[in-house]
């Protein structure tokens, strides 16, 4: 738990990994989180305080939050989509909050029933709530590279949103490749512009693996200056057979990629494989991780 | 078929993709090759002239070679593991030959019943045969990064083999990540050293995707100067459930990675998806490609 890491991975399986799955029990989530904690990962996105009608899998957010005090060495966070969600999160004891602003108006309307500008404007209120509880706020710009409705997101639009979100109170920022279509050249371009636009602000990136280039994009982000990356045990996140939904990059594959190259993640790969098995068991179906498949084939 | 490409992809599905599969008919191979030709790819490794006892799936190498004249615009090649194989290849009309030298003595003995030094020494005889037929020889250094028996291959050993193979007659060279364990930092290191050691010699790289980092490694190789990359339709190549065997990086995923970033491959992505479907149909089981799965889910 000490020392400076080359790459600081945030595990998102309990939130992004589970959010489109059939709801699993809070006990199953506790089992998954315990396995993730055992990997040595320092940050875990544990749940989301969002509409239980829209995302039934996250309806037990407060119950999940109650579990977390048993792991005091891990920084747990929750995702919110509104000031109300932020209030519920801090009431549940969560002090690390991710608030999503979509770079695409169409997606923002579909996802949160408000325009990008309206969602952005609420950042100040979310920040006040989080800071009032002694917490820290991260703004995730969703559809940072592409939107399924609007096509490519202009680099200038995403970068502008990052700057505004920071001004409105975000302590850290994250670029969300929400649909998993980013590729290394465009990742390098956007990250390079973002690093220049908000120097000194912790900047993360979040990739899915829809077209197989998720790990290459993560590597490109690292090369361009990103040191905070999201990943999900087993590559959980979206059923591979559901239109438009695909898994996050797999934590164990990302850990292997960096650690094999001598770059420290603070995460134990063997424990990651165990966590990926738990993730697959919790959702009751195969997960996309190639590394998990290779390790299973060997044993 | 004209113009300078940013990346020159060699399609290896008919050889590396099929070699550990249950043998498929020559007619099925013809169907696969026709689908690959339709993608616009300029180079296809069509078969291997190796022991039919060791690799029954390649027993019809001469029959496959006979088919190829119907596609005069594509550069077809065949893999060989001995001077005898090279003689059979040129007798069958093949003039682009890949000869494998393993950087690992243990693997070389297991795979070709000779040491690395003995395999290397035969390069001159293979080169004479190929050049005598007006052809060109590529030497692929297998286990260029890692060996399952010996562990990490020293960079100096692989680089030394490249230089010697070139001196002995190789017209081009290729770094083989035979077991799919390379990662970007180590790819950059080896490619950088190789480019310095054999300047001006066409240098390719060949990645498998055992631990999910195949595309990231391909991207790292490109960044370090490699412009020739192997890939296999659908990610075919080794059954994902067989110990130690895993697919090549998927052609359609590699094409998407580069073309999305504005780097030309000369290959049509839609035709690639069709070829990946044909590859899956020919082998009669699912292929690892994530892109194929995403495209199927959309339709």
The H or E element that residue A105 is part of is helix A105-112
Residues in chain B with CB shorter than 8 Å from the CB of A212 are: 215, 250, 253, 256-257, 289-291
Q: Mean pLDDT over residues A170-191, rounded?
A: 96
Closest Cα in chain B to A238: B294
Confidence of residue B239 (pLDDT cuts 50, 70, 90): very low
Residue B3 lies inside a defined structural domain of this protein: no
Closest CA to A187 of A203, A201, A171: A203
Residue A202 lies inside a defined structural domain of this protein: yes
Q: Which token pair is B131? A: 């050049």
Strands (E), A34-128: 43-49, 75-80, 96-102
Residue A211 lies inside a defined structural domain of this protein: yes
SS (H, E, C) chain B: CCCCCCCEEEECHHHHHCCCCCCCCHHHHHHHHHHHHCCCCCEEEEEEECCCCCCHHHCCHHHHHHHHHHCCCCEEEEEECCHHHHHHHHHCCCCEEEEEEECCHHHHHHHHCCCHHHHHHCHHHHHHHHHHCCCEEEEEEECCCEECCCEECCHHHHHHHHHHHHHCCCCEEEEEECCCCCCHHHHHHHHHHHHHHCCCCCEEEEEECCCCCHHHHHHHHHHCCCCEEEEEHHHCCCCCCCCCCCCECEHHHHHHHHHHCCCCCCCCHHHHHHHHHHHHHHHCCCCCCHHHHHHHHHC
Q: How far apart are CA B126 and CA B168, in angstroms?
A: 9
- Mention every residue, 6+ apart, whose C-beta is less than 8 A from residue B295: B273
Spatial contact of A14 and A44, defined as CB atoms under 8 Å apart: yes
Summary count for chain A: helices (H), strands (E): 12, 10
Indicate the number of domains in chain A: 1
Count CB-CB contacts under 10 A for residue B128.
15
- What pLDDT sits at residue A110? 83
Residue A286 lies inside a defined structural domain of this protein: yes
β-pairing, B75-80 with B43-49?
parallel
Q: A72-111: buried (b, 16+ CB within 10 Å) or exposed (e) per residue?
A: eebbbbbbbbbbbbbbbbbebebbbbbbbbbbbbebbbeb
Q: What is chain A's mean pLDDT, rounded? A: 94
Q: How far apart are CA B22 and CA B238, in angstroms?
A: 11
CA angle A11, B213, A175 (to 5 degrees): 45
Spatial contact of A250 and A288, defined as CB atoms under 8 Å apart: yes
pLDDT above 90 covers a percentage of chain B that reads: 87
Residue A159 lies inside a defined structural domain of this protein: yes
- What pLDDT sits at residue B2? 53
φ and ψ of B282, to 5 deg:
-65, -40
Q: Does A260 touch chain B (CB under 8 A)?
A: yes
Spatial contact of A159 and A189, defined as CB atoms under 8 Å apart: no
Count CB-CB contacts under 10 A for residue B297.
17
Distance from CA of B257 to the nearest CA of A (A): 6
Closest CA to A8 of A214, A216, A229: A229
Spatial contact of A208 and A177, defined as CB atoms under 8 Å apart: yes
Spatial contact of A287 and A36, defined as CB atoms under 8 Å apart: no
Confidence of residue B212 (pLDDT cuts 50, 70, 90): very high
Range of the domain at A272: 8-298
Q: Mean pLDDT over residues A146-174, rounded?
A: 96
Confidence of residue B32 (pLDDT cuts 50, 70, 90): very high
Task: Give tens-digit pLDDT for A19-59.
Answer: 989 999 999 999 999 999 999 999 999 999 999 998 999 99
- What pLDDT sits at residue A112? 79
Residue B2 lies inside a defined structural domain of this protein: no
- What pLDDT sits at residue B1? 45
Residue A2 lies inside a defined structural domain of this protein: no
- What pLDDT sits at residue B110? 83
Whether B88 shows a pLDDT value over 60: the answer reads yes
CA B103 to chain centre: 16
φ and ψ of B258, to 5 deg:
-80, -50
Q: Mean pLDDT over residues B3-23, rounded?
A: 94
Q: Mean pLDDT over residues A208-234, rounded?
A: 97
Residues in chain A with CB shorter than 8 Å from the CB of B218 are: 216
Do the Cβ atoms of B256 and A213 come within 8 Å? yes
Whether B242 shows a pLDDT value over 60: the answer reads no
Out of A151-160, A205-214, B104-113, least confident range: B104-113
Sort A218 into a burial class: Cβ within 10 Å, 0-12 / 13-18 / 19+: buried
Q: How far apart are CA B67 and CA B26, in angstroms?
A: 9
Q: What is chain B's mean pLDDT, rounded? A: 94
Q: Does B286 touch chain A (CB under 8 A)?
A: no
Count CB-CB contacts under 10 A for residue B4.
8
For chain B, the distance separating the N- and C-terminal CA atoms, rounded to the nearest angstrom, is 30
Q: Look up the CATH number of the domain holding residue A67.
A: 3.20.20.70
Do the Cβ atoms of B291 and A242 come within 8 Å? no
Spatial contact of B142 and B101, defined as CB atoms under 8 Å apart: yes
Task: Give tens-digit pLDDT for B102-115.
Answer: 999 988 888 888 99
Distance from CA of B251 to the nearest CA of A (A): 11
Q: Does A246 touch chain B (CB under 8 A)?
A: yes
Residue A110 lies inside a defined structural domain of this protein: yes
Whether B163 shows a pLDDT value over 60: the answer reads yes
Spatial contact of A16 and A275, defined as CB atoms under 8 Å apart: no
Three-state secondary structure call for residue A76: strand
β-pairing, A228-231 with A203-207?
parallel
Positions of A annotated as catalytic residues are 239
Sign of CA dihedral A226, A228, A234, A235: negative
Q: B26-59: buried (b, 16+ CB within 10 Å) or exposed (e) per residue?
A: bebbbbbbebbbebbbbbbbbbbbbbeeebebbb
Spatial contact of A32 and A13, defined as CB atoms under 8 Å apart: yes
Sign of CA dihedral B84, B89, B95, B98: negative
Q: Which token pair is A27? A: 């006990």
Count CB-CB contacts under 10 A for residue A223.
18
Interface A:B, Cβ pairs < 8 A: 119
Whether A101 shows a pLDDT value over 80: the answer reads yes
Q: Does B251 touch chain A (CB under 8 A)?
A: no
Task: Give tens-digit pLDDT for B94-145.
Answer: 999 999 999 999 888 888 889 999 999 999 999 999 999 999 999 999 999 9
Q: Does A151 touch chain B (CB under 8 A)?
A: no
Residues in chain B with CB shorter than 8 Å from the CB of A184 are: 219, 257, 261
Q: How far apart are CA B96 and CA B127, in angstroms?
A: 11
């Amino acid at each position: 738990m000490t020392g400076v890491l080359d790459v600081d991975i945030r595990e998102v399986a309990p939130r992004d990994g589970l959010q489109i799955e059939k709801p699993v029990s809070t006990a199953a989530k506790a089992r998954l989180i315990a396995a993730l904690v055992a990997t040595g990962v320092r940050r875990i996105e544990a749940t989301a305080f969002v509409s239980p009608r829209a995302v039934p899998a996250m309806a037990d957010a407060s119950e999940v939050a109650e579990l977390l005090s048993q792991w005091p060495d891990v920084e747990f966070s929750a995702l919110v989509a509104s000031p109300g969600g932020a209030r519920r999160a801090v009431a549940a004891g969560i002090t690390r909050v991710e608030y999503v602003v979509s770079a695409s108006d169409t997606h923002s309307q579909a996802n949160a029933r408000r325009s990008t500008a309206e969602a952005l404007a609420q950042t100040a209120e979310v920040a006040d709530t989080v800071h009032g509880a002694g917490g820290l706020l991260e703004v995730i710009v969703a559809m940072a590279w592409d939107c399924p409705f609007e096509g490519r997101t202009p680099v200038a639009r995403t970068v502008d949103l990052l700057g505004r979100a920071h001004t409105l109170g975000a302590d850290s920022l994250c670029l969300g490749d929400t649909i998993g279509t980013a590729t290394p050249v465009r990742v390098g371009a956007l990250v390079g512009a973002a690093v220049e636009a908000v120097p000194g602000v912790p900047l993360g990136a979040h990739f899915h693996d829809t077209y197989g280039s998720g790990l290459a994009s993560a590597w490109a982000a690292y090369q361009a200056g990103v040191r905070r990356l999201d990943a999900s045990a087993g590559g959980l996140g979206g059923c591979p057979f559901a239109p438009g939904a695909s898994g996050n990059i797999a934590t164990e594959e990302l850990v292997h990629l960096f650690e094999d190259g001598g770059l420290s993640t603070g995460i134990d790969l063997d424990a990651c494989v165990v966590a990926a098995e738990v993730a697959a068991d919790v959702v009751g179906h195969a997960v996309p991780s190639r590394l998990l498949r290779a390790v299973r084939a060997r044993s």
